[in-house]
Amino acid sequence: MAKRVGMEVSIAVAEAVKLADADVIAAYPITPQTHIVEHLSELVADGELDAAYIPVESEHSAMSSCIGSSAAGARTFTATSSQGLALMNEMIYIAPVLRTPIVLAIANRALSAPINIWNDHSDIMSVRDTGWLSIFAENGQEALDLTLASFRIAEDPAVCLPISMNIDGFTLSHFIEPILMPEKAEVDKFLPPYKPQLWLDIKNPISIGLLGGPECYTEARKATDDALWGAKRVVIKAFDEFNQVFGRQYHVVETYRHEDAETIIVSMGSISETAMTAIDEMRDQGQKIGLVRLRLWRPFPEEEFLAAVSKAKNLAVIDRHMVMGCSSGPVGLEVKSLVYNSGLRPGISNFLLGLGGRDVTRDDFKYIHEKATSGQVQARCEIVGVFE
């Protein structure tokens, strides 16, 4: 039976990596790091996890080592945030096309400048176009569960792609939450040992990372993109089987009181919990408002998203990353382009909030609701609560 514990979410993620029997962890402590890798190095030092912990000299080398280790057939994990993810960026582009199923936990945090270590989604948006799967957790339990699911999804032979498991920096990573810690036997039922299809095997030598000229570059990129789109089916299956083993059902798009909602807030990550509280309060006052939360960000769950918002008159899309010189944030852009071609015609407003750790309150969601239902759709993303 699972044990109910009070645990910092970062520690829970590390415990999930232990339960998953990861073989290699390569990590670097800038940005700053979270307790995820500190705890993993303790688990290795104590012999509780039989893995190689590579204390690399940079985040660039962390991802480089992960690519090497994954290509050599090892279950591979790393974690980072913010500047560290930015430093990894060159390698982030390479890992998916080399088909290395690395699991990367990101405690989402702001990018410099100004230097700021607090939570927003600036860091992960640089990974958006690279071929990685991206999933978002809302609370500590989800962080643990999605870490386990991430190994299963990434290593599925039909996927064989790296995955980022996102938790909000500080608001999740450094908070102690009640968590159901699963038994190893349950985890083993859900997550089989990693069996790579192709690896750096002296008995069957392969070359990984050959030069791709104009005659094959497009096809190599497309093969990765096809695998990423196809991964959604595997994600759904993994979530369903996760439910069978652990009794917790996850969906690629989560909803809250959205069935009869005229206005739907679209969010990702931990602020969704604040949004749900605000929605309850607004519902009590007779407002028809609900929430659609993107758990899966890449590949974008188009059908599930459109089905969830199909009856709404207004969409209020939350972004937590500023796209400078552009009228929408990344989630806003995505929703607008998808809805435009769907035939649906809700009013779409886009709101930027919670940048660099700025507090997001229930009142912010009430303000957003007011603006989204005002009948005046703004052309540009509105920065909520900015000091003029």
Partner 1 sequence: MRAADVPFEKVTNKNFPKGPDSLASGHRACQGCGEVLALRLLLKALGTDFIAVSATGCMEVCTGPYPQSAWRMPWIHVAFENAAAVASGVEAATHVLRRKGRGHDQRIPVVAVAGDGGTADIGLQALSGALERFHENFVYVCLDNEAYMNTGIQRSSATPFGANTTTSPIGSHSKGQYTWKKNMPAIAAAHGVPYVATANPAFHLDLMNKIRRAVAIEGPAYIHVYAPCPTGWRMKPELAVESGRLAVSTRIFPLYEVIEGRYQINRKVDNPTPIADYFKAQGRFRHLKEDDVAFITKRVNADYERLVDLAEKFPVD
Q: Which residues bind partner 1 (CB under 8 A)?
A: 23-24, 26, 50-52, 54-58, 60-62, 64-74, 76, 90-91, 94, 98, 193, 199-202, 205-213, 216, 220
Instruction: Look at residues 297, 335, 293, 284 and name the one whose alpha carbon lies nearest to residue 314.
Output: 335
- Residue 99 or 258 having the CB closest to partner 1: 99
- Residue 161 or 322 having the CB closest to partner 1: 161
Instruction: Report the nearest approach of partner 1 to the CB of residue 217 (Å).
Output: 9
Residue 334, SS3 per DSSP: helix
- Residue 66 or 278 having the CB closest to partner 1: 66
Instruction: Look at residues 113, 109, 102 and name the one whose alpha carbon lies nearest to residue 126.
Output: 109
Residue 351, SS3 per DSSP: strand
Instruction: Look at residues 2, 30, 32, 31 and name the one whose alpha carbon lies nearest to residue 16.
Output: 2
Instruction: Report the nearest approach of partner 1 to the CB of residue 36 (Å).
Output: 18
Give CA–CA dist 200/68, Å, rounded.
9
Interior CA angle at 312 toward 381 and 263, to 5°? 60
- Residue 65 or 272 having the CB closest to partner 1: 65
Instruction: Report the nearest approach of partner 1 to the CB of residue 211 (Å).
Output: 5
- Which amino acid, 73? G
Instruction: Report the nearest approach of partner 1 to the CB of residue 60 (Å).
Output: 7
Instruction: Report the nearest approach of partner 1 to the CB of residue 96 (Å).
Output: 12
Place of tokens 């038994």: 183
Instruction: Report the nearest approach of partner 1 to the CB of residue 224 (Å).
Output: 14
- Residue 72 or 181 having the CB closest to partner 1: 72
Give the Cβ contact number of residue 108 at 10 Å. Answer: 30
- 63 and 77 Cβ atoms separated by less than 8 Å: no
DSSP string, 181-195: E--HHHHHHHSPPP-
- Residue 211 or 324 having the CB closest to partner 1: 211
- Residue 206 or 324 having the CB closest to partner 1: 206
What's the alpha-carbon Rg for the chain, to the nearest Å?
Answer: 21
Instruction: Report the nearest approach of partner 1 to the CB of residue 218 (Å).
Output: 13
- 268 and 294 Cβ atoms separated by less than 8 Å: yes
